[in-house]
Structure 1
Amino acid sequence: MKLIVVLLLAALPLYCYAGSGCPFVEKMVETTLNSNVSTAEYIDVLKRYINDERTELAVVEFKDCFLRQSKDILKHVMEMMETIYNSKLCYYF
């Protein structure tokens, strides 16, 4: 099992090779920070990765946390993510 995890982590940068990072991760960050996306829509987007009730509850709490934030804070978080994507440390990924 550990070998599979190591291989997946090694393959992820190759899969996500793009200018600013992995398109899937970027889409999920954008969906998470978008206050127009409801919790139900968010769960629908992630349902393929939700295996049980605990995971679904965690996803609901995570999205609700962002829904309670002001638009200004969400804007700053998105700017932070863009800075991370464009940082020198992420350049090779």
Structure 2
Amino acid sequence: MSQIKIDMTVYDSIETKLMAVHPAYRSKDPEIKRLLKFRKKLTKVLFEGIEPSTDPNYFCETCGSHSHLEHPVTAFCFVCNTDNWKREEYADVGQ
């Protein structure tokens, strides 16, 4: 794992700010975009070395990723580490 020091108070602050504007994660607001970019970088470090699983029926509404990659244990988005999945239009998962 990368030797990066993570100040969890900063992470918690970002989490709070992002949740406060939900569901506008993909907002045009430059501050929100900056926070989401930081969150993606942090997630990449946190999930380093973990093999993701996939679910082709859902995409991440937080970051807009259609990679369908999710954490194998938490099922959170492998790109931004949130649990904000939305069903794909073509998904056959019932009502």
TM-score (norm 1): 0.29
Structure of higher CA gyration radius: 1
Instruction: Please state which structure has a larger fraction of its residues in helix.
Output: 1
Instruction: Please state which structure has a larger fraction of its residues in strand.
Output: 2
